[in-house]
Structure 1
Amino acid sequence: MSASGVDAFLEMQAAERGAALNTIRAYTRDLADMDAALHARGMTPLTAGESDLRDYLSGLARQGLAARTQARRLSCLKQYFLFLAREGMRPDNPAALLEAPRLDAPLPRFLSEPEVTELLAACVPEPDATPARGRRLMVAKAALEMLYASGLRISELLSLPRRAVDAAPGMMLVRGKGGRERMVPMSARARAAARALMALDAGRESPYLFPGRSARQPMTRQGFDRILHDVALRAGLDPQRLSPHVLRHSFATHLLAHGADLRALQVLLGHADIATTQIYTHVMLDRLRDAVAQHHPLAQQHD
């Protein structure tokens, strides 16, 4: 597919936009699928027109692909054909006017504040817990305190170096998507839990705050999921309701419910676009209704 500029496009995504490996792999599959479909019609990405791409996308719908998958494919095609046009490999962009299927944006799942409290309380080991059990719960305590206090993505949490805890008081430097760095708050409770884990793990000599089986590697997502599953059961919560992203959603939802600003939340979460943060506005509806009822000059008047 290199003759169609795919290799150069993928290199640009990785080098200039900092696309993750999984994103590059998804784009590779998507473009290979499109290339095969166009080839069957006697076309290539350099000769296909808008109608050819519409037919390809319609075929995805007939295959039963979910609307979200179709939208992801279209996003890839739009970026790819824009790249071809900008590089002079095509005189036009046949994907420019293509529209994605409508998506019903699901509301983010989150825990209630009492449920978060129960979850953190479940990280306290029993007096007769084995050293291995005690450390496992200490890992859970530090991770959950930091996820809930800072709104971190799980990838950001597990890649944290030990030195992150020693940053400016109350703040922590995090490297997020695309290599973008941002400062996030770190509560006193989260810092204390992290320092307790660091003290326990001092002999491991790992550069990571959450080391894996090998001290030179961070804990895997799968390893953390198992810990989270166990803590959910200890707290009496359905493990299916709990994930690192649910804790991130809980962080955002609870902040907004207590009056946080949406723009500030965007910065804290590391969202490049405010539209991504707006999925949390559902929690603001009651507060907005109350504000109108209390402060609008006509709210207290009756017919």
Structure 2
Amino acid sequence: MKWLNALKDYKLYLKIERGLSKNSIDNYALDVKKLITYLEDNDINQSPLTINTEVLQQFNYDIAKVVNERTQSRILSGLRSFFSFLIFEDYRTSNPLDLIESPKIGRKLPDTLSEFEIDKLIGAIDLSTPEGERNRAILETLYGCGLRVSELTNLKMSDLFFDEGFIKVTGKGDKQRFVPILKNTQKYINLYVNEIRTHLKIQPGHEDTLFLNRRGKQLTRAMIFTMIKQLAEKIGLKKSISPHTFRHSFATHLLQNNADLRSIQMMLGHESITTTEIYVHLDKSHLSKIVEKYHPRK
């Protein structure tokens, strides 16, 4: 079996059997491609069925020289998944990565934004341009609904149920959930839709897409990242932020205002509440306040 054939079958497995999104599948495939490139560059002639622990150990040593521990751990995790797939399909009987340890890494939590910083970022948007009205609606939606950037770019006009106070979100693995949407967020989306979007020349296939670029096509993830980076620079924000920062801030602020973890889990679209517990960091002062307020022996 050749590497590219195995990779093609693996991607199909991730899509059909595991129901992963295109972005997740691409990330898993990228880990395998790194190994393929390493084998080619070092003239190592081993197939997916014959490659052994020694070769993978050397690959691990070499990638450790050029990437950080977190990236190294993620690559090894992706490769473990690939070889587990080969075992599942009876191509191999063992996983050559079983004896290779991933680097020990601490849990790194992303920066969050304070309510003041979010207000300042949104306030820095130039509303004299059509893109400004759109960008304000985008940031209000990211923060107001706690969306992933891919969920935002894929949001449809037909996903808006403002009368009921919800939007329908398609998350990882094409799983759908309904997320409450604030009246304030609805207001900014309606402004964008009625004042800006209605004047665009919308390209075929994008008629139902909510947020569009100037050419009437769906926005890319990179466009959202760039817009946020430029706003952060404009206000002199020193934190390293991304669209995901707004999602994390959404969850953190809800938790700090005593929302329950189960509700946050449902709104974020996490399959397991364990993911939410890791994702939403709790500071000690907040925990102390919860105990003081709710414990029967306070």
CA distance in 2, matches of 1:259, 1:85: 46
- Counterpart of 2:31? 27
Aligned residue for 1:68?
70
The correspondence of residues 245-260 of structure 1 with structure 2, limited to 5 A, is: 245-260=244-259
1:1-303 matches, within 5 Å, as 1-2=2-3, 5-16=6-17, 17-21=19-23, 22-23=26-27, 25-33=29-37, 35-36=39-40, 40=44, 43-61=46-64, 63-123=65-125, 125=127, 129=128, 133=129, 135-166=130-161, 169-200=164-195, 201-204=197-200, 205=202, 206-215=207-216, 217-229=217-229, 231-232=231-232, 236-238=235-237, 241-293=240-292
Classify the secondary structure of the residue corresponding to 1:223. Answer: helix
Q: Deviations over 1:135-167 (max 9, x none)?
A: 222112211111111001112112211222236
- 1:208-227 Cα deviation digits (max 9, x unpaired): 21112322x21233433444
Q: Deviations over 1:207-249 (max 9, x none)?
A: 221112322x212334334443554466x34276443111111
Task: Verify the 8 A CA contact 2:140 2:185 in the aligned structure 1.
Answer: yes
Rounded to whole Å, the distance in 2 between the matches of 1:249 and 1:283 is: 12
Deviation at 1:26, TM superposition (A): 0.9
Separation in 2, partners of 1:91, 1:154:
39
Kept in 2, the 8 Å contact 1:110–1:246? The answer is yes
Q: Secondary structure at the match of 2:228?
A: helix
Deviations 1:175-223 (CA, angstroms, capped at 9, x unpaired): 11222212111111111111111112223344221112322x2123343
C-alpha distance 213-58 of structure 1, shift in aligned 2 (>3 A): same
Query: Given the superposition, is the C-alpha separation of residues 58 and 280 from structure 1 closer, same or farther in structure 2, using an over 3 Å criterion?
Result: same
Q: Is contact 1:147–1:157 with CA below 8 Å preserved after alignment?
A: yes
Supply the distance in 2 between the matched residues of 1:11 and 1:32 (Cα, whole angstroms): 18
- Could you say what secondary structure the match of 1:184 adopts? strand
Report the CA distance between 1:47 and its aligned residue. Answer: 2.6
Q: 1:143 to 1:3 in 2, by over 3 A?
A: closer
Distance 1:163 1:53, change over 3 A: same
Cα deviations by residue, 1:97-138 (Å, 9 ceiling, x for unpaired)? 54311122222211111222333344474xxx4xxx1x2221
| C-alpha displacement of 1:25 | 4.5
Structure 2 residue matching 1:5: 3-state secondary structure: helix
1:72 aligns to what SS in structure 2?
helix
Identity of aligned residues (%): 31
One-letter amino acid matched to 2:13: M
Distance 2:155 2:32 in 1: 29
Q: Cα gap change, 1:258/1:47 in structure 2, threshold over 3 Å: closer, same or farther?
A: same
One-letter code of the match for 1:228?
I
Instruction: Tell whether the 8 Å contact from 2:169 to 2:177 is kept in structure 1 after alignment.
Output: yes
Q: 2:42 & 2:95 partners in 1: Cα distance?
A: 16
Corresponding residue pairs, total: 288
Tell me the SS of whatever aligns to 2:245: helix
Counterpart Cα distance in 1 of 2:132 and 2:159 = 21
Q: Given that residues 137 and 189 in structure 2 are in contact (C-alpha distance below 8 angstroms), is that contact kept between their aligned partners in structure 1?
A: yes
- One-letter amino acid of the counterpart of residue 6, structure 1: L
Cα drift, residue 51 of structure 1: 4.5
Q: Separation in 2 of the partners of 1:225 and 1:203? A: 25
The SS at the match of 1:282 is coil
Partner amino acid, structure 1, of 2:251: A
In the alignment, is the contact (CA less than 8 A) between 1:81 and 1:93 conserved in 2?
yes
Q: Is the 8 A contact 2:57 2:100 kept in 1?
A: yes
**Secondary structure class of the residue paired with 2:80:** helix
Structure 2 gap ranges (5+) = none
Residues 54 and 19 (structure 1 numbering): CA distance in 2 closer, same or farther, change over 3 Å?
farther
